[in-house]
């Protein structure tokens, strides 16, 4: 059974598979997942949250310079990334660490990227939380809001021209839907029916600006209609609803039926970044209400219904995740910074004369 996405977008009510108590609303909407898949998803969600907590504390301790957490939004990005096939490419924002883990990016390399050391696959050239992983089909992340949207559309257009079955997933927040890049990407995708899925994690806040103050539309999924593509509004804290919606959108994209905009309704339960103080603009009462809808807690209750979760299992998961994080950080902190030679790598296939002269100067200086 498919999600009734069009009606959901029109009336503004997000589609759900799980109630807040973890029970299934309609068995026909429940995606087919093995016990191993369910355990993997739950572990990745718990690991992602614990990792966020650890790196946030490390920034406060002066061990790293900057961090962006995804607390409260784990289901929206982990569920959608899990639904993608190996040949699909993900164009992430900077708040989807769980998506990277699901695609095989190691926690060790994640820690190295945050530290910007010699183990960083981007060789210290990117801001923290701006990871890239070619093997997992994760494109390099950029700070400017929304720039990944037309990039994903361009990739999808190329895949269509080459008759490939791969699709692109573009991740962004509610604030990005007010940018020119959003308009350009959506319009092109609608006209040329490219195989792309737009995943808007509507976490209610574009840094410090509430969603009501940056768009007049009643819900973001409705914006899809202006571009001739389908808009789907799902409960972003419902992991199963996210998986079901993404699977349907990807199937549609690969069959040549065009793009889909998925609005995953969720809430940013922490600061925008370690440089932000949400107490200056946040609403404590709203935060407490959203905490009751916590995506991890809801999925935990679902697993309890399935006979998978119990307090002993939770203790085991927490211990395993904590040890994995500690080991990755410990190993990453042993590594030195990247060598100065890496400044001249990954820019030109053949280094031009003026850069070669600079590179030799660096080498002669013993840097």
The yes-or-no answer on residue 302 being catalytic is no
Domain boundaries, the chain: 5-336, 343-367
Residue 93 pLDDT: 94
Confidence category of residue 347, pLDDT binned at 50, 70, 90:
confident
The yes-or-no answer on residue 109 being catalytic is no
Confidence category of residue 90, pLDDT binned at 50, 70, 90:
very high
The number of C-alpha atoms within 13 Å of 35 and in the hemisphere containing its C-beta is: 6
pLDDT digits (tens, 9 = 90+) for 144-165: 999 999 999 999 999 999 999 9
The yes-or-no answer on residue 268 being catalytic is yes
Q: Measure CA 348 to chain center.
A: 30
User: Is pLDDT at 10 greater than 70 in this prediction?
Assistant: no
Q: Measure CA 94 to chain center.
A: 7
Residue 218 pLDDT: 87
Confidence category of residue 52, pLDDT binned at 50, 70, 90:
very high
Averaged pLDDT, 102-122: 97
pLDDT digits (tens, 9 = 90+) for 301-326: 999 999 999 999 999 999 999 999 99
Instruction: Tell whether the torsion through CA atoms of 302, 249, 251 and 103 is positive or negative.
Output: negative
Q: Classify domain 5-336 by CATH number.
A: 3.40.50.970
Please identify which of the residues 60, 281, 340, 348 carries the catalytic annotation.
Answer: 281
Averaged pLDDT, 274-301: 93
Residue 330 pLDDT: 98
* Contact between residue 67 and residue 114 where contact means Cβ atoms under 8 Å apart: yes
Residue 3 pLDDT: 66
pLDDT digits (tens, 9 = 90+) for 232-244: 999 999 999 999 9
Tell me the pLDDT of the chain averaged across its residues.
Answer: 94
**Closest to 186 in 3D by CA, of 213, 160, 220:** 220
Beta-ladder partners of 200: 172, 263
| Strands 205-206, 209-210: pairing kind | antiparallel
Comparing 44 with 344, the larger pLDDT belongs to 44
User: Is pLDDT at 275 greater than 70 in this prediction?
Assistant: yes
**Distances in whole angstroms, Cα of residue 33 to Cα of each of 39, 129, 294, 306, 355:** 10, 30, 21, 12, 53
Residue 251 pLDDT: 97
Please identify which of the residues 103, 137, 233, 272 carries the catalytic annotation.
Answer: 272
* Contact between residue 242 and residue 75 where contact means Cβ atoms under 8 Å apart: yes
pLDDT digits (tens, 9 = 90+) for 115-124: 999 999 999 9
* Contact between residue 308 and residue 316 where contact means Cβ atoms under 8 Å apart: no
The C-alpha atoms of residue 303 and residue 158 are separated, in whole angstroms, by 40
Averaged pLDDT, 16-28: 95
Please identify which of the residues 268, 279, 302, 364 carries the catalytic annotation.
Answer: 268
Averaged pLDDT, 41-63: 97
Residue 4 pLDDT: 59
SS (H, E, C) the chain: CCCCHHHHHHHCCCECCECCCCCECCHHHCCCCCHHHHHHHHHHHHHHHHHHHHHHHHHHCCCCCCCCCCCCCHHHHHHHHHHCCCCCEEECCCCCHHHHHHCCCCHHHHHHHHHCCCCCCCCCCCCCCCCCECCCCECCCCCCCCCHHHHHHHHHHHHHHCCCCCCEEEEEEHHHHHCHHHHHHHHHHHHHCCCEEEEEEECCEECCEEHHHCCCCCCHHHHHHHHCCEEEEEECCCHHHHHHHHHHHHHHHHCCCCCEEEEEECCCCCCCCCCCCHHHCCCHHHHHHHHCCCHHHHHHHHHHHCCCCCHHHHHHHHHHHHHHHHHHHHHHCCCCCCCHHHHHCCCCCCCCHHHHHHHHHHHHCCC
Confidence category of residue 346, pLDDT binned at 50, 70, 90:
confident
The C-alpha atoms of residue 8 and residue 165 are separated, in whole angstroms, by 28
pLDDT digits (tens, 9 = 90+) for 189-234: 999 999 999 999 999 998 888 998 989 998 999 999 999 999 999 9
């Amino acid at each position: 059974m498919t999600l009734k996405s069009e009606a959901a977008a029109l009336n503004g009510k997000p589609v759900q598979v799980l109630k807040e108590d973890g029970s299934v609303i309609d068995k026909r909407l429940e995606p087919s997942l093995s016990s191993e898949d369910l355990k993997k998803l739950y572990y990745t969600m718990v690991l992602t949250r614990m990792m966020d907590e650890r790196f946030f504390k490390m920034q406060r301790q002066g061990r790293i310079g900057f961090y962006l957490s995804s607390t409260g939004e784990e289901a929206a990005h982990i569920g959608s990334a899990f639904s993608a096939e190996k040949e699909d490419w993900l164009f992430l924002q900077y708040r989807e660490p769980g998506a990277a883990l699901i695609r095989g990016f190691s926690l060790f390399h994640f820690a190295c990227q945050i530290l910007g050391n010699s183990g960083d696959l981007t060789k210290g050239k990117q801001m923290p939380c701006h990871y890239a992983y070619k093997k997992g089909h994760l494109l390099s992340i950029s700070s400017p809001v929304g720039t990944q949207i037309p990039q994903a559309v361009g990739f999808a257009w190329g895949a269509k021209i080459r008759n490939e079955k791969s699709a692109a997933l573009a991740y962004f927040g509610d604030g990005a839907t007010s940018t020119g890049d959003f308009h350009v990407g959506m319009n092109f995708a609608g006209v040329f029916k490219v195989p792309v899925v737009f995943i808007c994690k509507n976490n209610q806040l574009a840094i410090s600006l509430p969603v009501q103050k940056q768009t007049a539309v009643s819900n973001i999924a409705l914006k899809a209609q202006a571009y001739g593509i389908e808009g789907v509004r799902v409960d972003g804290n419902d992991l199963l609803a996210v998986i079901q919606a993404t699977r349907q959108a990807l199937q549609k994209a690969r069959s040549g039926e065009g793009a889909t905009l998925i609005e995953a309704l969720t809430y940013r339960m922490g600061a925008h970044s370690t440089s932000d103080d949400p107490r200056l603009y946040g609403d404590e009462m709203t935060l407490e209400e959203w905490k009751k809808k916590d995506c991890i807690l809801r999925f935990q209750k679902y697993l309890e219904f399935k006979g998978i979760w119990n307090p002993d299992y939770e203790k085991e998961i927490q211990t395993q995740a904590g040890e994995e994080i500690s080991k990755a950080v410990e190993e990453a902190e042993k590594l030195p910074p990247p060598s100065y030679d890496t400044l001249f790598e990954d820019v030109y296939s053949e280094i031009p004369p003026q850069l070669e002269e600079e590179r030799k100067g660096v080498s002669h200086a013993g840097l």
